[in-house]
Amino acid sequence: MTLKLTATRLPLFAATLGLFAPTFATMPAFAGECPADQVAAEAMAPGATAPEGVTDDVLASIDLSPKGGDWKGSALRLRKLVVQPGGVVPWHSHEARPANILVVEGSITEYRSTCKVPIEHKAGEVTAEFGDLAHWWKNNGSKPAVLYSADILPPMQDDDHVM
C-alpha cells in the first residue's frame, strides 16, 4: 500500500512522526555502515581465507544468458547463509559480483577493505556490495546469523557456491 500525503493527511502524518522523534534521535545515523571518518582505501588487510561454520544454500538461480550481450553466462542467484557463532564468510571481492545482503536473524561483523573499523550488521539491515570492495564476515555473537544474499554471478565464476 502506498501512502499518499494529501493536504488533509499531512498534519496527522507530521504529528505521528513527532511521536517517534525521541526514537529516531537515539538511532545511529548509518546503522550497518562505515562511519564517514573511518572510510579509506585499503583500510583493512585481507582476513580469513576459508569458510568456517557457515552453510551456503542456493535457493534459486536464473540463467541470464537469454538476455544476450554482456549477460551471456551470468546468473542471478539467491542464497541463504547461516553463520554459526565464531563462523566466517572468507575474504572475497565484489569488483565483478554485485550483491545485496539482508540480515534476517542475529548479527554479524564485517571487516571491509574500505573501512578502518569493523562494521556490525543487525537483523533487518541490508548491505549493498559492489565495486572496489573486498571484505570478510565473522559472527562474533552467541546466536547463528541468518543472511540472504542476492547477487549476479559473472560467467568466470561458474561455481554456484562462490562466497
Residue 71 is part of a domain; what is its CATH number?
Answer: 2.60.120.10
Question: In terms of residue numbers, what domain contains 36?
Answer: 31-153
Instruction: Establish if 18 belongs to a structural domain.
Output: no
What phi and psi, each to the nearest 5 degrees, are found at residue 15? -65, -40
According to DSSP, residue 38 is labeled G
What are the tens digits of pLDDT across the range 8-31? 444 443 444 444 444 433 333 346
Q: Say if 16 falls within a structural domain.
A: no
Query: Which uninterrupted H or E stretch holds 15?
Result: helix 10-26
Is residue 105, in this structure, part of any structural domain at all? yes
Total tally of structural domains belonging to the chain: 1
User: Of 92, 91, 97, whose CA–CA distance to 76 is shortest?
Assistant: 97
- Asked whether residue 14 is domain-assigned, the answer is no
pLDDT at 46: 93
**Rounded Cα–Cα distance for residues 12 and 32 (Å):** 31
Q: Please check whether residue 19 lies inside any domain of the structure.
A: no
The rounded Cα 77 to chain-centroid distance in angstroms is 14
Supply the pTM of this predicted model. 0.75
pLDDT tens digit string along 107-136? 999 999 999 999 999 999 999 999 889 999
- Is 163 inside any structural domain? no
